[in-house]
Amino acid sequence: MSAESRPELRIGVAGLGTVGVGVLKLLEANGGLLAQRCGRQLRVTAVSARDRNRERGVDVSQATWYDSAEAMASDNAVDVVVELIGGEDGPAKALVEAAIANGKSVVTANKALIARHGNALARAAEDKGVNLSFEAAVAGGIPIVKVLRESFAGNRLSRIYGILNGTCNFILTQMEENAAEFDEVLAEAQRLGYAEADPSFDVDGVDAAHKLAILASVSFGRPVDFDSVHIEGIRQVSALDIAYAKELGYRIKLLGIAGLTDHGVEQRVHPCMVPENSPIAHVAGVYNAVVVEGDFVGQAVFEGQGAGAGPTASAVVGDLADIARGQRVPPFGVASDSFQTLPAAPMPRHRGPYYLRLKVLDQPGVMADISAILRDHAVSIESVLQRGRSPDDAVSVIMTMHETEEAAMTAALSGIKNLSAVLEPPCMIRIEHF
Rounded to a whole number of angstroms, the minimum distance from the CB of residue 392 to a copy of itself is 45
Rounded distance between C-alpha atoms, residue 316 and residue 84, angstroms: 10
| Of 325 and 351, CB closest to a copy of itself | 325
Rounded to a whole number of angstroms, the minimum distance from the CB of residue 255 to a copy of itself is 17
| Of 216 and 429, CB closest to a copy of itself | 216
> Which among 111, 146, 211, 253 is annotated as catalytic?
211
| Of 156 and 375, CB closest to a copy of itself | 156
Least Cα distance to 137 among 190, 83, 100, 101 occurs for 83
Rounded distance between C-alpha atoms, residue 300 and residue 283, angstroms: 15
List interacting residues with a copy of itself (CB under 8 A).
1-3, 22, 26-27, 29-30, 33-34, 36-39, 126, 135, 140-143, 146-147, 149-156, 221, 279, 282, 294-305, 308, 310-311, 313-318, 320-322, 325, 327, 329-330, 333-335, 337-338
Q: Is residue 43 a contact partner of residue 75, using CB atoms and an 8 Å limit?
A: no
Q: What is the DSSP string of 227-272?
A: GG-EE--STT--HHHHHHHHHTTEEEEEEEEEEEETTEEEEEEEEE
Q: Diameter of the chain by CA atoms?
A: 85
Q: Is residue 224 a contact partner of residue 114, using CB atoms and an 8 Å limit?
A: yes
Phi-psi region of 13 (alpha: psi -120 to 50; beta: other; left: phi over 0): beta
Interaxial angle between packed helices 406-417 and 366-376, expressed in degrees from 0 to 180 and rounded to the nearest 10: 150
| Of 37 and 349, CB closest to a copy of itself | 37
Rounded to a whole number of angstroms, the minimum distance from the CB of residue 3 to a copy of itself is 7
Rounded to a whole number of angstroms, the minimum distance from the CB of residue 72 to a copy of itself is 21
What distance, in Å, lies between the first and last C-alpha atoms of the chain? Answer: 46
Residue 211 catalytic? Answer: yes
- CA 206 to chain CA mean position, Å: 8
Rounded to a whole number of angstroms, the minimum distance from the CB of residue 335 to a copy of itself is 4
| Of 321 and 407, CB closest to a copy of itself | 321
| Of 310 and 346, CB closest to a copy of itself | 310
Rounded distance between C-alpha atoms, residue 263 and residue 103, angstroms: 40
Rounded distance between C-alpha atoms, residue 34 and residue 166, angstroms: 29
Q: What is the DSSP string of 326-352?
A: T----TTSS-GGG---PPBPPGGG-EE
Rounded to a whole number of angstroms, the minimum distance from the CB of residue 434 to a copy of itself is 13
Rounded to a whole number of angstroms, the minimum distance from the CB of residue 343 to a copy of itself is 18
| Of 318 and 346, CB closest to a copy of itself | 318
With a CB cutoff of 8 Å and minimum separation 6, the contacts of 282 are none
Sheet holding 132-133, edge to edge: 64-66, 42-48, 9-14, 80-83, 105-108, 132-133
Write out the catalytic residue numbers.
211
